[in-house]
Structure 1
Amino acid sequence: MSTSVVDVWGQLAPQARSSFPPAPEPHDEWPLSGGTAWVYYSPLNRRQLIRPVILSDGFSGGASNLDQLWQGLEENGDFRFVSELHAIGRDVIILGYEDRTASITANADTAIDSIRRAIAERVGQARLTVGGFSMGGLVTRYALAKMEQDPGLPDHETAVHLSYDSPHHGGWLPVSLQAFTHFAADNWGDNPQLGPILRQLSGLLNSPAARQMARWHIAKVGDAPGQAPERVAFLKELDELGGWPRNVRRIGVANGVSTGVGNGIKAGATAVRGDGQTLRDTWLKAQDSGDQIVANLQTVDGRPTPVRTSGLPDIDGAPGGLFTLPSAAGDAGSFGLVAALMALLGNTVDPDVISTSCFIPSISAVAAGDIADSGALYRPITADSSALDAFTCASRNEGHTTMTQELGEWIMNEIAASE
């Protein structure tokens, strides 16, 4: 599986980091309020901004990393996205943020700043393409909608909004994983070596952006999973702006299939189990529907803490982009991350680990259904079910934001046809 464009949950631990070769020197660099835009002109345009394409970074820890973004766009998939955009005369503006965990609305102001700068620098009248990967698709969706509704902002002069495996209807992180992360931070957050990693993980899950995107969120062990207040407020603000930008062609892709065929994870199956120096009979299960104990958390000298859910869909196995994190040993998934943390805490992990899980259901990425509805998750997606003007889905369930030839070529055709 290819390393994804977006390092979904940040650089969490030394063994989960990748070394990214340096990106080519940008032709221009724009300091923005809350971020930076790196500009790569098409060779066809002789160092002039003529047909701008703004590509927004997504959610992760800390500031955007140009080298990492370039690697995902150009080197790690089977499609060289920037080069292909350059070949059709598009100038690429990679939009990064000072804090990728900040609220979507805060980073949308940075996106608006980049759009205004692109219009000011542009030679000619070609309309923009604006979009992003994962959360970047939501940031730019909000930004364009705000520019249409706020009389104090200029026309965005944008023809196409692009979203690449973006959680339009919410993302999924297993409640069992969220609970284990907070449990580990509570119990070993003061460990000199592992404490910073555990606290960072727990903090990422509770960051403003994560709270806005997660369809089910818990802030601490024992919470009932549901939509965080920050998500409810964000959805209300988005709805007040009309939900979507209206004066653009809305296109999107999903890293999951449209057929309704899941990724093979069996609902209710034990995903990871560990015992040893710090844990006793601690396990996490794949999400099932109905009432379920999705995790048992227990220190060696403590009482068991069961984690319960009720009324959630069997979503871990649903069609969609898979949770992946780049590591030296290859991409790790959601439950694979828990297995690694269990081992780092001095425990033996059962070998039959279900490594990954659905992260962005296909129906969320193409805005085609409620991910709380198990039937909708596994139902084939039809063209008339989507809020997008055009979309395509991958031919297999693959890593979230993985750049592939089939998705990349489809986007090229849509952008080329927008003139």
Structure 2
Amino acid sequence: MSITEEQAAEAFQAGPPVILAPGPRTTDRIPPPPNDVWELPYGTAWVYHGEGNGRLTRPVLIADGFSTGPSDLSLTWELLEYGPFPLLSEIRRRGRDVVLIGYHERSASILQNAEAVMAAVIEAIGRRVGDHPLTVGGFSMGGLVTRYALAKLEADGIEHEAQLYYSWDSPHTGAWIPVALQAFAHYTKKLDPRFSAQINSPAAQELLWKHIASWEDKPATSERRLAFLRALREVGDWPRARETRLIALANGPDNGEGNGVAPGAEAVTGKGPAVTGTELRTQSEGDDQLVAKLRVVTIPTREIRTGQLPDIDGAPGGTLPGFGILADALNETPGFGVDNPIREHCFVPAVSAVSAREPATHDDLYTPIGDEELEESPFHAVKFASQSETHTLATEELSTWFLDQLP
């Protein structure tokens, strides 16, 4: 059986886009209707009053993370409520109000989506009964959006009244999508540009520690990321109000133990006629490391090699089933079947989630994070998971610690 480029493009485009982010929804359970909906610049907020609160009283603002398209706050509710621990119910049971903040476009610049958070903060202060301080933060990219938003409000001389800022597995020193996956996205752009567009979106470039804009590029820090880091510095890098406490949660451990993914291992191997010869591998250390062989339809096989990158796919931290997401999509596309022995990779290294180090070398990633190092971090308190687990997973271990931090 052979397949033409036209047939391959038609098959690719007929299916949903490959999106390297949590989701899609896995339950038909519908979240309760919000008590209020706020229309914001570049976003929307769903408001749920805490038990015993007839109006907004003790707000906990939760900003959405990265994906493509508008935020699906029903999915946000599902991930935080119907997972291993009912986090939203527990927040409300303790008399706090939940404010879920979504964006009109999740892949837009962090600076743009911070406008939605800044507006939500001002809205919460204006609608709140009494003077209980705010809790403001988010999961994954949401922790960076809120970090910038609070710092920007301070720089503009606007009181945000946040007593607690939190980030939950947020990539403060960079997130990681394997170069093999990025290269495949760009290599198949002619067939379907959607996967490549996600990798090259403003938010993705601002988040990723290393990025490639085309399959032939060498991994480097994107100019968009450098501009975002400059924008952070211009507003003071972090919320610095004296009354604001900063905390971080990591879906990885502090003991340096990896997630078990071996470097240089085959993760996705083509077996369908359209991708026979394609092979995506996990990242290895050293120079001239083969991370991918790419052959799609009639295109000759190309090799993707990297140098001076660490064995980051197996690093301690929050994991994303990036290889699995791509493999599932390919296996649903006629002619594109693959084997997928490795589904997950490190997405947010533990050292990034607590802003301890750049994820630049093996030692940076795998050396245990000690108390002395944490004392020099911007956070007043941090909580690590006992082992590497799914990125932003609201486990009982992390959730109960978080609840005890609420003002």
- TM-score (normalizing by structure 1): 0.88
Listed as ranges, the gaps of 5+ residues in structure 2 are 1-17
Structure 1: which amino acid aligns with 2:132?
A
Pick from 242, 259, 265: which aligns with 2:255?
Answer: 259
Match of 1:283 in 2: 279
Structure 2: which amino acid aligns with 1:58?
G
Q: How many Å apart are 1:337 and its aligned residue?
A: 2.4
The 3 A distance-change label for structure 1 pair 20 and 8 is farther
How big is each residue's C-alpha offset from its partner over 1:126-181, in whole Å with a ceiling of 9 and x where there is no partner? 11000001000000000000111123xx2001100011110111100000011011
Match of 1:221 in 2: 215
Q: How many Å apart are 1:17 and its aligned residue?
A: 5.8
The 3 A distance-change label for structure 1 pair 111 and 8 is farther
Which whole-Å CA distance do the structure 1 matches of 2:327 and 2:30 have between them? Answer: 31
Q: How many Å apart are 1:217 and its aligned residue?
A: 0.6
Pick from 319, 337, 341: which aligns with 1:353?
Answer: 341
Q: Aligned runs of 1:16-415 on 2, under 5 Å?
A: 18=26, 20-45=28-53, 47-75=54-82, 77-151=83-157, 154-186=158-190, 188-189=191-192, 199-247=193-241, 248-291=244-287, 292-323=289-320, 333-343=321-331, 344-350=333-339, 353-385=341-373, 386-415=377-406
Which whole-Å CA distance do the structure 1 matches of 2:215 and 2:31 have between them? Answer: 41
Greater mean deviation of Cα atoms: 283-292 or 111-120? 283-292
Give secondary structure in 2 for the equivalent of 1:391: strand
Q: How many Å apart are 1:205 and its aligned residue?
A: 0.9
Structure 2: which amino acid aligns with 1:23?
P
Any conservation in 2 of the 1:277–1:345 contact (CA below 8 Å)? Answer: no
Give secondary structure in 2 for the equivalent of 1:147: helix
Which whole-Å CA distance do the structure 2 matches of 1:370 and 1:8 have between them? Answer: 25
Which whole-Å CA distance do the structure 2 matches of 1:232 and 1:28 have between them? Answer: 38
Any conservation in 2 of the 1:134–1:167 contact (CA below 8 Å)? Answer: yes
Which whole-Å CA distance do the structure 1 matches of 2:19 and 2:335 have between them? Answer: 26
Runs (4+) of structure 1 exceeding 6 A deviation are: none
Give secondary structure in 2 for the equivalent of 1:43: coil
Any conservation in 2 of the 1:10–1:62 contact (CA below 8 Å)? Answer: no
- TM-score (normalizing by structure 2): 0.90
Length, aligned pairs only: 383
Q: Percent identity?
A: 45
Structure 2: which amino acid aligns with 1:346?
G
Which whole-Å CA distance do the structure 1 matches of 2:208 and 2:180 have between them? Answer: 14
Structure 2: which amino acid aligns with 1:37?
A
Aligned-residue CA RMSD (Å) = 1.7
